[in-house]
């Protein structure tokens, strides 16, 4: 059954190829397709294309479908092309002619656009919640291990004193930067394309501002062609946000693998988190962090994968866009898995307080000695040369006292300031406003 069918059969092979994985992926979009239909039906009533009675019938049927989706009872039939077709066919089967009126003033092009935007808006909310929980765990660890000194590395060489407080806090604050990139993607997502139809509008007197309000969108894609052009651009924006988050998570996973090695031994994990070897009984492998690292590396290629599909397309709709769903939708699940696993495992970290006491780290205190001479009145460059000479002669005796006091340093990691930054960033999303609008739409 196809909404565009004109009585001529389609080759079975062509049909199978063009539908692809849409039926499976569209189940993720199913509740949002129904919500979009609710808003559209309400608007059609207000402009006189539906009677009050017809709208009531459609609304009640759509609410029933919505709950069946959430209860796991809804299916896209094998003979049906996509979620848009299934919802319309279900309405037609139940309501007859009234069900056939739901498509007035829209196309599957703007339907899939609104479905994806509603879906991505909710997925961004989930990712922001996951990141917030992880950042809070990292800040708690930063405070707990603020005074535990570890070497800081440059060029893969021990360079200067750092601390676990700084290390945990660094990833917390960097994830807030990633949240800001996610917020930029959210602003692009949070625009209403409904009513742009196939990308050129139509002759019905649609009230597109009404559906914008009903669906809780922050703004409207005003130009119908621009609305259609947002397909691909929206996915790319979200993909860049996913890549940014993945870069941070992957870097931390890499650090964990290094810090867990016997050569550094800065930290370890309980046996329940590590895996073993089939022939080496001593092994405690950080497989989960290695797989997080690999998954995050793969996710960082997502923008290029989507751009590779969309970059040479002219304006207007093209079926190529269908493939972006296959890339983007599973990636959000993969990212959630990585964040959730990092949050759960890092809570169980075992910190080695004594790792810094190894004599091989003596030289990382050289800058402390230089600064100590400067505080006594020696110029920095002369102090530098003095300490460099003692190192060269083998007479350097480090003072292991670390006196870092400025904001963002070992002695003052600034977790309170980072928490405030996190709260300001999360507040900027204003997720509650759209959630309230959608609930009002369902309850109407």
- DSSP class of residue 365? G
Residue 21 is predicted with a pLDDT of 65
Q: Tell me the whole-structure pTM to 2 decimals.
A: 0.92
Q: What angle do CA 146, 147, 150 make, to 5 degrees?
A: 95
What number is the average pLDDT over the span 425-435? Answer: 95
Helices (H) and strands (E) in the chain, counts: 16, 6
Q: With pLDDT > 70 as the criterion, what percentage of the chain qualifies? A: 95
Which domains, ranges and CATH numbers included, belong to the chain?
12-103 (1.10.275.10), 108-357+414-443 (1.20.200.10)
| Angstrom distance (rounded) from CA 426 to CA 428 | 5
Residue 23 clears pLDDT 80, i.e. is over it: no
| pLDDT, mean of residues 289-294 | 97
At residue 426, φ and ψ (nearest 5 deg) are -65, -40
- The sign one gets for the Cα dihedral 311, 174, 153, 341 is negative
**344/13: higher pLDDT:** 344
pLDDT above 80 for 10 = no
**Runs of H (alpha helix) within 216-273:** 224-260
| Confidence tier at 17 by pLDDT (50, 70, 90) | low
Element spanning 25, H or E: helix 22-46
Structure tokens at 213: 């309000």
Backbone angles phi and psi of 66, in degrees to 5: -60, -45
Residue 34: name the closest of 69, 3, 1 by CA: 69
The two three-digit tokens of residue 180, written as one number: 């800001």
**∠302-307-311 over CA atoms, to 5°?**
175
Residue 292 near residue 341 (C-beta atoms within 8 A): yes
pLDDT, tens digit, for every residue of 386-404? 999 999 999 999 888 898 9
Q: What is the per-residue pLDDT for 13?
A: 65
Q: Name the nearest CA neighbour of 234 among 111, 116, 313.
A: 116
């Amino acid at each position: 059954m196809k909404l565009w069918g004109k009585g001529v059969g389609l080759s079975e092979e062509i049909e199978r190829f063009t539908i692809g994985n849409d039926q499976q992926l569209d189940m993720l979009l199913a509740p949002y397709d129904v919500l979009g239909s609710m808003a559209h039906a309400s608007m059609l009533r207000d402009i006189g294309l539906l009677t009050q009675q017809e709208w009531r019938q459609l609304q009640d049927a759509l609410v029933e479908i919505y709950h069946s989706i959430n209860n796991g009872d809804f299916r896209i039939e094998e003979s049906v092309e996509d979620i848009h077709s299934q919802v319309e066919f279900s309405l037609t089967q139940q309501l007859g002619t009234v069900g056939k009126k739901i498509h007035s003033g829209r196309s599957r092009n703007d339907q899939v656009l609104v479905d994806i935007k509603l879906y991505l808006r909710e997925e961004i909310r989930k990712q922001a919640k996951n990141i917030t929980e992880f950042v809070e765990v990292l800040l708690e660890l930063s405070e707990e291990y603020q005074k535990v000194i570890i070497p800081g590395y440059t060029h893969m060489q021990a360079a200067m004193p750092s601390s676990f407080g700084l290390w945990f806090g660094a990833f917390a604050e960097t994830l807030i930067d990633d949240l800001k990139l996610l917020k930029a993607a959210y602003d692009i997502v949070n625009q209403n394309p409904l009513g742009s139809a196939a990308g050129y509008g139509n002759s019905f007197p649609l009230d597109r501002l009404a559906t914008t309000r009903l669906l809780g969108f922050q703004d409207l894609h005003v130009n119908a062609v621009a609305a259609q052009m947002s397909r691909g651009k929206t996915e790319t924006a979200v993909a860049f946000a996913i890549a940014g988050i993945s870069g941070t998570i992957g870097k931390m996973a890499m650090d964990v693998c290094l810090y867990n090695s016997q050569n550094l031994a800065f930290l370890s994990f309980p046996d329940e988190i590590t895996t073993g070897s089939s022939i080496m009984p001593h092994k405690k492998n950080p497989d989960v962090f290695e797989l997080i690292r690999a998954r995050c590396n793969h996710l960082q290629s997502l923008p290029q994968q989507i751009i590779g599909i969309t970059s040479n397309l002219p304006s207007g709709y093209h079926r190529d866009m269908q493939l972006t769903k296959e890339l983007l939708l599973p990636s959000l699940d993969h990212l959630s898995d990585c964040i959730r696993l990092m949050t759960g495992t890092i809570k169980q970290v075992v910190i080695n307080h004594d790792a810094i006491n190894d004599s091989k780290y003596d030289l990382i205190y050289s800058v402390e000695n230089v600064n100590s001479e400067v505080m006594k009145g020696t110029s920095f460059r002369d102090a530098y040369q003095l300490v460099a000479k003692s190192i060269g002669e083998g007479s350097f005796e480090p003072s292991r006292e670390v006196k870092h006091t400025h904001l963002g340093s070992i002695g003052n990691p600034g977790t309170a300031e980072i928490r405030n930054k996190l709260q300001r960033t999360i507040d900027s999303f204003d997720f509650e406003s759209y959630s309230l609008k959608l609930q009002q739409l369902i309850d109407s």
